[in-house]
């Protein structure tokens, strides 16, 4: 099938490369000319394990092409995915849909025949209806279907997640779109991946409900961790003890400094806003968001406490900056709030991250970056391990202790 991805970010690039690998002809479009120029030179603008090889292979075979020219790509497309960002709207926390609607108008202007326009971006319930309205208003002459196909991939494991998903969710309002989407996912369907067909609004809500539930699991175990600390219990063993129950499941039960990233914070907020607008408030999700916000700064207070109650003038070594391992994504990373709170308390920050330093430099001020973990620790008054990169599991703790000015590891 001839597929166009509008938006070549984390989701658009991974999805585009995987669809090409299924045998489809994929054009990835982005309005960021620098990003497309890099991709045309074979450079991958993000860090995602295995993505470079997958892009290189499919680009070489001619099944994956990159362009800034949306018009010619869309004019030949059978399926157009919208994979642009839907960040929090400044001021009110609703999803900012301006990129989605701008892309919709551009797509409308350039379609030449029947196509299915599919939202892969995470969009609030009802967005598909508005996309359909825009398409019909701009192009009353055209037959077009609008579908929802939310993406569940995890950064850091995006390719295996895309190729072996727990499920694929597709929301359609007509049979023709359903047939096209079944064809798009036929290679996965043949592999027995459950394909859940539903209506468009339900599909849109499934994505938000999934993220809110996962955020709730994290929020829950984090509060249980505090209770464990206060009572002498071990949260990892509690997590294992409850996670072995099939009704609960062991994933997303790792206590930590709070969730971050490009999805959970904005999606939980947007869901709360939608729910309030329609008079069906989500008090559990609201509690999760509040607890998570407080947790990030609370982590900094723990570091201060471990340093004897005062970090003014002290150097704190931060190991790990990205919101989770195996990505360079710094969006809403807990490290940002922790570092800012430590700086507010007068600490000097030296940081090391295996992949995230370049993005971190655009978000954090007055941070010294080290070339490796040991260099980061040398002479520091305390170390704070924020992101669980595998290489930190292998640190030689005797060497860590010898390098630190005082043996404090949080």
CB contact set of 222 (below 8 Å; sequence gap of 6+): 255, 256, 258, 291, 292, 295
CB atoms within 10 A of CB 175: 9
The arrangement of strands across the sheet holding 367-369 comes to 367-369, 348-352, 315-319, 382-385
Tell whether residue 20 is a contact of ligand NAD (CB under 6 A): no
Q: How far is the CB of 13 from ligand NAD (least distance, A)?
A: 7
Distance CA 360, CA 85 (A): 19
DSSP readout, 238-259? HHHHHHTSTTT-STT----S--
Locate tokens 């600490």: which residue?
347
- 142 touches 107 (CB < 8 A): no
CA angle 35, 38, 41 (to 5 degrees): 150
Tell whether residue 326 is a contact of ligand NAD (CB under 6 A): no
Q: Which stretch binds ligand NAD (CB under 6 A): 25-33, 196-204, 222-230, 366-374?
A: 25-33
- Phi, psi angles (nearest 5°) of residue 379: 75, 0
Q: Which stretch binds ligand NAD (CB under 6 A): 97-105, 160-168, 197-205, 279-287?
A: 97-105
Tell whether residue 127 is a contact of ligand NAD (CB under 6 A): no
Tell whether residue 86 is a contact of ligand NAD (CB under 6 A): yes
384 annotated active-site: no
Tell whether residue 29 is a contact of ligand NAD (CB under 6 A): yes
Tell whether residue 153 is a contact of ligand NAD (CB under 6 A): yes
Binding ligand NAD (rule: CB under 6 A), the pick from 28, 55, 63, 85 is 85
Tell whether residue 99 is a contact of ligand NAD (CB under 6 A): yes
Binding ligand NAD (rule: CB under 6 A), the pick from 4, 10, 200, 216 is 10
In 3D space, the residue among 47, 51, 2 whose CA is nearest the CA of residue 28 turns out to be 2
Measured from the CB atom, the residue of 269 and 311 that comes closer to ligand NAD is 269
Q: How far is the CB of 12 from ligand NAD (least distance, A)?
A: 6
Tell whether residue 81 is a contact of ligand NAD (CB under 6 A): no
Tell whether residue 262 is a contact of ligand NAD (CB under 6 A): yes
In 3D space, the residue among 85, 105, 80, 81 whose CA is nearest the CA of residue 96 turns out to be 85
- 159 touches 18 (CB < 8 A): yes
| Catalytic annotation, pick one of 18, 28, 263, 307 | 263
Tell whether residue 151 is a contact of ligand NAD (CB under 6 A): yes
Q: How far is the CB of 119 from ligand NAD (least distance, A)?
A: 8
Size of the site for ligand NAD (CB under 6 A): 28
Question: Which residues in the 296-325 window bind ligand NAD by CB under 6 A?
Answer: none
Binding ligand NAD (rule: CB under 6 A), the pick from 111, 235, 239, 263 is 263
Locate tokens 């590891």: which residue?
409
Tell whether residue 12 is a contact of ligand NAD (CB under 6 A): yes
Tell whether residue 155 is a contact of ligand NAD (CB under 6 A): yes
Distance CA 297, CA 334 (A): 9
The interaxial angle of helices 200-231 and 127-138, nearest 10 deg, is 150
Question: Which residues in the 105-124 window bind ligand NAD by CB under 6 A?
Answer: 106, 121-122
**Residue nearest to ligand NAD according to CB distances in the complex:** 9
In 3D space, the residue among 51, 131, 23, 141 whose CA is nearest the CA of residue 86 turns out to be 131
Catalytic residues: 263
State the residues that interact with ligand NAD by CB under 6 A: 6-12, 29-32, 35, 70, 83-86, 99, 102-103, 106, 121-122, 151, 153, 155, 262-263
């Amino acid at each position: 099938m001839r597929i166009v991805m509008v938006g070549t970010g984390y989701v658009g690039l991974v999805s585009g490369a995987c669809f090409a690998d299924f045998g489809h002809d994929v054009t990835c479009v982005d309005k960021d000319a620098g990003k497309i120029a890099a991709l045309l030179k074979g450079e991958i603008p993000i860090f995602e394990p295995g993505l470079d090889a997958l892009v290189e292979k499919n680009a070489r075979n001619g099944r994956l092409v990159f362009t800034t020219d949306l018009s010619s790509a869309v004019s030949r497309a059978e399926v157009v995915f919208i994979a642009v960002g839907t960040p929090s709207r400044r001021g009110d926390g609703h999803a900012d849909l301006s990129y989605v609607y701008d892309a919709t108008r551009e797509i409308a202007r350039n379609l030449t025949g029947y196509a299915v326009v599919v939202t892969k971006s995470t969009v609030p319930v009802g967005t598909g209806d508005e996309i359909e309205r825009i398409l019909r208003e701009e192009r009353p002459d055209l037959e077009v279907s609008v579908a929802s196909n939310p993406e569940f991939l995890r950064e850091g494991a995006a390719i295996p997640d895309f190729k072996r998903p727990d499920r694929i969710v597709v929301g359609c309002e007509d049979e023709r779109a359903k047939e096209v989407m079944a064809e798009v996912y036929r290679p996965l369907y043949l592999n027995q991946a459950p394909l859940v067909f539903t209506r468009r609004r339900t599909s849109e809500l499934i994505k938000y409900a999934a993220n809110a539930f996962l955020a709730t699991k994290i929020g829950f175990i984090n509060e249980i961790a505090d209770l464990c600390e206060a009572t002498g219990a071990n949260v990892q063993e509690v997590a294992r003890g409850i996670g072995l129950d099939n009704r609960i499941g062991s994933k997303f039960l790792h206590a930590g400094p709070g969730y971050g990233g490009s999805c959970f914070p904005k999606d939980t907020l947007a869901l709360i806003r939608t729910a309030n607008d329609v008079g069906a408030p989500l008090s559990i999700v609201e509690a999760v968001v509040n607890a998570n916000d407080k947790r990030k700064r609370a982590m900094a207070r723990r570091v201060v406490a471990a340093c004897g109650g005062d970090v003014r003038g002290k150097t704190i070594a931060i190991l790990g900056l990205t919101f989770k391992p195996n990505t360079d994504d710094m969006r809403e990373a807990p490290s940002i709030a922790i570092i800012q709170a430590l700086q507010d308390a007068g600490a000097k920050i030296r940081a090391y991250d295996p992949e995230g330093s370049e993005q971190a430099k655009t978000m954090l001020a007055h941070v010294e970056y080290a070339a490796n973990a040991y260099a980061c620790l040398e002479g520091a008054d305390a170390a704070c391990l924020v992101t669980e990169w595998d290489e930190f599991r292998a640190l030689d703790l005797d060497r860590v202790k010898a390098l630190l000015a005082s043996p404090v590891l949080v």
